[in-house]
């Protein structure tokens, strides 16, 4: 099976062709935003980090910024920094240059401030956008798809319809040589033993259990017992009886194939197939981490509804039931409600969602893209000093 | 609602089904199981939307199976057609309404 995508210098395939204006630090957000508004065809985001960070926390922030820019959906990058931050433009650019894609850099303190930086940046961005527009799509195999899976705003139906349907798509994609990322470590607690049983290697199982332990220890350090508080009262009222049941509903979105490896936040998988990324359950930090890890498309199941997207990748919103459509239909791309009504089986809806996945990878826009959703958040693992 | 399906059997190994609308005690529900057979169950309890009921008798101490996996253990004998939830099931890995 094929789709039409953009082949990048590093060999990976993008489903989009963005020019990214990347602020390395919170102090550069405004200039990046202004450049992006002046030049059509660019995307940008804002974040709160890049400075006053230490050690592994700073490394993770830099890894996320670099990984995001290296995502194959990005044609080229303008890195915008202030000039005295931890995540200096030179450091971030050096990481992006390895991909072979066009990268330019701008430091506000060296340009004389806001207006001069915006002008210089807009000229660079205009050149990048024009060059990007000459890129042509080529026919690519579905095995080049790296699918990020996510569930957010789940309801009683999510684990019955949307997640199993996404699981069907995950299995099909993996069987065709593609890669699927399962994330949100928090949501695996209670079903980790089931996932560990499916580990393709002892290392994958150990890394999974280690990630779960770290998440629980982090919660305990804040005085919260994760297992004891799940399912929540709302979940119980909705019909979820045990934490295993809740987590099973969640892991179903990644299907049933063996777990190949566990990667850290914003790291690229080294293997094809089902991969787990250690991310928090925070919807935006999770998407950002998966996209920084190379996900060129995301499928996001929801029951209560959510509008969020990401600047450089299409996010396909899948509704779990017809109520979601009533509540937030404008933000939904695909509905799994017929599984609930009985009109279709999980397999039938899964086949249709797979078709939608290929259409989106070949260029069909998702609601989150159409409405300009550029949510972005980096997972922090250390204090701001 | 569509073909009028009232309950969903998620996996062929499951010994519970999920109510797709609020069901009253006394209702006779026809469940198309994933294995292909149809099971007729008379509900002895009200089962709210999204909640589970037993597809067959489950012994005290027996596993409750959903998604083809163990989601908990029956703390009391459960009869076919009874509401299956926190009042008769315990988690093996932690529980939210008990402190």
What is the per-residue pLDDT for A222?
85
Phi-psi category of residue A361: left, alpha or beta, with phi > 0 → left and psi -120 to 50 → alpha: alpha
Distance from CA of A350 to the nearest CA of B (A): 15
In chain A, residues with a C-beta closer than 8 Å to the C-beta of B48 are 239
In chain A, residues with a C-beta closer than 8 Å to the C-beta of B67 are 159, 245, 248-249, 252
Question: To which residue do tokens 């009200």 refer?
Answer: B46
Can you tell me the distance from the alpha carbon of B65 to that of B68, in angstroms, rounded to the nearest whole number? 6
Tokens of B92: 């093996």
Can you tell me the distance from the alpha carbon of A39 to that of A374, in angstroms, rounded to the nearest whole number? 16
Distance from CA of B86 to the nearest CA of A (A): 6
What is the per-residue pLDDT for B36?
82
B17-68 pLDDT tens trace: 999 889 999 999 999 887 888 999 999 999 998 899 999 999 999 999 999 9
Helix axes A55-70, A283-292, angle to 10 degrees: 70
Q: Among B99, B72, B73, which Cα is nearest to A225's?
A: B99
**pLDDT tier at A308, thresholds 50, 70, 90:** very high
Nearest CA in chain B to A193: B93
Distance from CA of A30 to the nearest CA of B (A): 44
Q: Above pLDDT 90, what percent of chain B?
A: 70
| pLDDT exceeds 80 at position A192 | yes
Of B2, B8, B94, the CB nearest to A227: B94
- Span B72-99, average pLDDT: 86
Whether A228 and B10 lie within 8 Å, measured CB to CB: no
Torsion A40-A41-A42-A45 (CA) sign: positive
Higher pLDDT, A172 or A346: A172
Whether A243 and B94 lie within 8 Å, measured CB to CB: yes
Q: Among A147, A200, A28, A138, which Cα is nearest to A363's?
A: A138
In chain B, residues with a C-beta closer than 8 Å to the C-beta of A233 are 96-97
Distance from CA of A343 to the nearest CA of B (A): 6
Of B50, B90, B97, the CB nearest to A156: B50
Distance from CA of B38 to the nearest CA of A (A): 14
Through-space distance between the first and last CA atoms of chain B, rounded to whole angstroms: 39
**pLDDT tier at B2, thresholds 50, 70, 90:** very low
A53-103 pLDDT tens trace: 999 999 999 999 999 999 999 999 999 999 999 889 999 999 999 999 999
Question: What does each C-alpha distance from A76 to A98, A130, A313, A354 come to in angstroms?
Answer: 12, 11, 14, 29
Of A157, A244, A343, the CB nearest to B2: A343
Can you tell me the distance from the alpha carbon of B63 to that of A307, in angstroms, rounded to the nearest whole number? 39
Can you tell me the distance from the alpha carbon of A325 to that of A335, in angstroms, rounded to the nearest whole number? 8
Question: By the 8 A CB rule, do A50 and A26 touch?
Answer: yes
Most A-contacting residue of B91, B92, B99 (CB-CB within 10 A), to test interface: B91
Distance from CA of A67 to the nearest CA of B (A): 35
Whether A341 and B3 lie within 8 Å, measured CB to CB: yes
Most A-contacting residue of B8, B54, B67 (CB-CB within 10 A), to test interface: B67
| pLDDT exceeds 70 at position B94 | no
Least confident of A1-10, A181-190, A362-371: A181-190
Whether A338 and B93 lie within 8 Å, measured CB to CB: no
Length of chain A: 385
B3 Cβ neighbours under 8 A, 6+ residues apart: A341, A342, A343
Q: Among A268, A288, A259, which Cα is nearest to A192's?
A: A259
What is the per-residue pLDDT for B1?
32
| pLDDT exceeds 70 at position A250 | yes
Whether A341 and B89 lie within 8 Å, measured CB to CB: no
Q: With 0-12 CB in 10 A as exposed, 13-18 as middle and 19+ as buried, what is B60? A: exposed
Q: With 0-12 CB in 10 A as exposed, 13-18 as middle and 19+ as buried, what is A384? A: exposed
ipTM of the complex model: 0.92
Whether B67 and A343 lie within 8 Å, measured CB to CB: no
Task: Give me the half-sphere count of Cα atoms (radius 13 Å) on the Cβ side of residue B96.
Answer: 22
């Amino acid at each position: 099976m094929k789709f039409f995508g953009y082949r990048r210098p590093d060999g990976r395939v993008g489903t989009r062709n963005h020019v990214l204006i990347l602020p390395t630090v919170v102090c550069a957000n405004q200039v990046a935003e202004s450049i992006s508004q002046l030049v059509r065809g660019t995307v940008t985001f804002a974040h709160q980090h890049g400075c006053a960070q230490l050690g592994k926390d700073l490394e993770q922030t830099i890894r996320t910024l670099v990984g995001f820019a290296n995502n194959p959906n990005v044609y080229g990058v303008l890195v915008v920094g202030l000039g005295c931050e931890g995540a200096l433009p030179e450091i971030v650019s050096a990481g992006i240059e390895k991909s072979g894609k066009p990268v330019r850099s701008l430091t506000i303190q060296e340009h004389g401030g806001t207006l001069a930086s915006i002008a210089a940046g807009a000229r660079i961005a205009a050149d990048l956008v024009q060059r990007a527009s000459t890129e042509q799509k080529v026919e690519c195999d579905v095995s080049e798809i790296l699918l990020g899976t996510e569930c957010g705003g789940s309801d009683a139906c999510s684990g019955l319809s949307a997640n199993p349907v996404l699981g069907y798509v995950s299995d099909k994609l993996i069987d065709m040589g593609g890669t699927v990322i399962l994330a949100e470590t928090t949501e695996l607690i209670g079903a980790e033993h089931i996932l560990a049983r499916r580990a393709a290697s002892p290392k994958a199982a150990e890394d999974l259990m280690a990630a779960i332990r770290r998440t629980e220890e982090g919660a305990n350090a804040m005085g919260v017992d994760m297992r004891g508080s799940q399912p929540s009262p709302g979940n119980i009222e909705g019909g979820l009886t045990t934490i295993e049941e809740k987590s099973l509903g969640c892991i179903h979105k990644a299907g049933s194939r063996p777990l190949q490896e566990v990667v850290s936040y914003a790291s690229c998988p080294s293997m094809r197939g089902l991969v787990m990324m250690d991310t928090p359950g925070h919807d935006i930090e999770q998407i950002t981490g998966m996209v920084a890890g190379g996900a060129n498309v995301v499928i996001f199941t929801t029951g209560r509804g959510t509008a969020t997207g990401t600047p450089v990748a299409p996010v396909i919103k899948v509704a779990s039931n017809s109520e979601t459509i009533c509540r937030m239909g404008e933000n939904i791309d695909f509905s799994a409600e017929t599984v609930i009504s009985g009109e279709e089986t999980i397999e039938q809806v899964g086949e249709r969602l797979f078709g939608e996945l290929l259409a989106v990878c070949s260029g069909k826009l998702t609601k989150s893209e159409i409405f300009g959703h550029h949510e972005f958040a980096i997972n922090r693992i250390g204090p701001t000093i | 609602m569509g073909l009028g399906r009232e309950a969903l059997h998620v996996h062929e190994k499951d010994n519970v089904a999920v109510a797709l609308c609020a069901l009253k005690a006394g209702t006779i529900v026809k469940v198309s199981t994933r294995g292909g057979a149809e099971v007729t169950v008379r509900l002895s309890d009200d089962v709210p939307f999204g909640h589970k009921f037993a597809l067959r008798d489950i012994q005290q101490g027996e596993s409750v199976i959903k998604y083809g996996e163990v989601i908990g253990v029956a703390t009391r004998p459960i009869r076919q057609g009874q509401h299956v939830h926190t009042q008769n099931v315990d988690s093996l890995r932690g529980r939210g309404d008990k402190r």
